[in-house]
A and B are shown apart, each in its own frame.
Chain A
């Protein structure tokens, strides 16, 4: 189930029948319980979204900078044109956002599927493995970022020390222009593969045994059974995992801020759209541009989600 397709209600039915209702407030409440229940949450979210979103749209059409209270002029779609023609910061940031998300998700799904298959059948010590899987998942991302910063430190980090033992020269990791993004992807994979494992494991456990048994009878080996039976059946679950992780991966901020700070490093090597928009707002104070980036970013997220939802519908059929 995804953000764009709320759970299909198994038991939807028509409202209005209210047996045993008493007159007065109670009757009124029962008659209108649908909106009485749903409205407060919707109003809460609505109020907290609508104003900022409207304001962001408005700012994106002005040259607001310095302070949002300062006078600004309406400049139409100028900011969007500036941003869309910016090949130095914006498009590379789009590329990084997509490659961060894409690579991280690919690793997480492949690794996650592998680990889920390992865990599928019961074994002794299963409990401890499950604990180990849960820990990275709940760890505070900022703390995790700091932890990796120490472990990947080029001079004193444990990773380079390990490499040194097998004769590999120290690598710059987070501080290298070419290695930083990969290193942050690694962190994301470490932290979130467990979530993919849990989702896929739930999917595996719910699979019916018959197709697999039948294939076994027909003499299919383990690999054939996985690729031709299990994997196709698991596709909807895999897409759910991608959807759930994808939203968060696109918006990744905490570990990037904790490890590389504002601007994503000297060469903006880990500057994703979220980090770029944050920098435009809080470092450059260019609220007009920043708002335009945010709106475009928002559209990219929605677009990605929509594509995946479509894909899922196709697979589910």
Chain B
């Protein structure tokens, strides 16, 4: 039961290669022609529903503002790269891209360092209440944290750099990582560790040399998801970032100024924020799916 989440990932890769054997293991397809037609139509509708808005955003990012305001030019227009030049050059988006990347990367790495051993201990010693403490971070409303955090950190002279931002993002990442890794460690058989200990390894040694390497795909899953969540985080970055640390989600608002909304620039910025994370998601699909569904199939 416990390894099922991993199985999902595997099944998926195999079926996409369309191995007949694998297909047979799954259910027999329903025979009726009507259902087949309905299924194709429904799937097309689903894909359109999910993709069309993103496509529209992409389209608008290549339009001038006059064209955006002109409903006659929804699809037929002369594309312009001006919005992207505006976003990337004049608005220094490379700096924000770097900031976003850096905050997401460091907070993920640090959260992994703290979270993976914790998840291991919590899984192996069934520390339910302790796990609750960490998972509580996911439940608490973020608004209640902002003012106190900033107050403390500014008195500790820790503001202005990346520290506060990274700490706040770790606060989002850590529970996620603990949550995913706990169900992952639960699914790893204990026997390997035990036999390693019989062979003379200390328990920590067994964790380091046996369990951890076995958990690499779980760690990748947790790390990727934590990166994505950190990249997308808005509320903490909104109030805690400073001049040098502004991240992309906050920078999007640069195009909503007092004297005008620059829709073209806004859509280009939204695209620039979204594209990197989508590319990462495409290449790590398997991990993301197994992370999001972690623990979902257990009783």
| Chain A–chain B contact at Cβ < 8 A | yes
Enumerate chain B residues within 8 angstroms of A11, measured Cβ to Cβ.
124, 186, 189-190
Q: A3-B138, A53-B140, A141-B232 are in contact. Are A42 and B183 (CB under 8 A)?
A: no
Judge if B103 is at the interface, Cβ distance under 8 Å: no
Contact B54 A9 (CB under 8 A): no
Contact B144 A56 (CB under 8 A): yes
Q: A6-B132, A206-B7 are in contact. Are A301 and B46 (CB under 8 A)?
A: no
Contact A143 B292 (CB under 8 A): no
Which of A1, A115, A141, A147 meets B54, CB within 8 Å? A147
Contact B292 A205 (CB under 8 A): no
Stretch in contact with the other chain, from B83-91, B213-221, B280-288: B280-288
A301, B140: Cα distance in complex, Å: 8
Q: A8-B186, A132-B46 are in contact. Are A42 and B139 (CB under 8 A)?
A: no
Q: Which of B73-125 contact A (CB under 8 A)?
A: 74, 114-115, 117-118, 120-125
Judge if A267 is at the interface, Cβ distance under 8 Å: no
A10, B167: Cα distance in complex, Å: 32
Contact B203 A139 (CB under 8 A): no
Write the A172-203 contact mask toward B (1 if CB under 8 angstroms, else 0).
00000000000000000010001100110111
Contact B8 A115 (CB under 8 A): no
Contact B145 A38 (CB under 8 A): no
Smallest beta-carbon distance A157→chain B, Å? 9
A33, B201: Cα distance in complex, Å: 14
Enumerate chain B residues within 8 angstroms of A127, measured Cβ to Cβ.
16
Enumerate chain A residues within 8 angstroms of B139, measured Cβ to Cβ.
3, 247, 298, 301-302, 305
Write the B194-238 contact mask toward A (1 if CB under 8 angstroms, else 0).
000110111111010000000000000000000010011011000
Contact A45 B137 (CB under 8 A): yes
**B residues lining the A interface (CB < 8 Å):** 1-2, 4-5, 7-8, 11-12, 15-16, 18, 22-23, 26-27, 29-30, 39, 42-43, 46-47, 49-51, 53-54, 56-57, 60, 68-69, 71, 74, 114-115, 117-118, 120-128, 130-149, 151-152, 167, 170-171, 174-175, 178-179, 182-183, 186-187, 189-190, 197-198, 200-205, 207, 228, 231-232, 234-235, 239, 248-249, 252, 263, 266-267, 269-271, 273-274, 277-278, 280-282, 285, 288-289, 292-299
Q: A49-B140, A301-B141 are in contact. Are A41 and B126 (CB under 8 A)?
A: no
The 7 tightest CB contacts between A and B, nearest first, are A1-B295, A41-B118, A6-B131, A37-B121, A143-B270, A52-B148, A37-B117
Smallest beta-carbon distance A36→chain B, Å? 8
Enumerate chain B residues within 8 angstroms of A195, measured Cβ to Cβ.
292
Which of A133, A156, A198, A294 meets B144, CB within 8 Å? A294
Contact A49 B136 (CB under 8 A): yes
Per DSSP, chain B at the interface is helix
Contact B50 A13 (CB under 8 A): no
Which of A4, A41, A55, A205 meets B115, CB within 8 Å? A41
Contact A7 B144 (CB under 8 A): no
Contact A42 B277 (CB under 8 A): no
Which of B4, B143, B190 meets A206, CB within 8 Å? B4
Enumerate chain A residues within 8 angstroms of B133, measured Cβ to Cβ.
42, 45-46
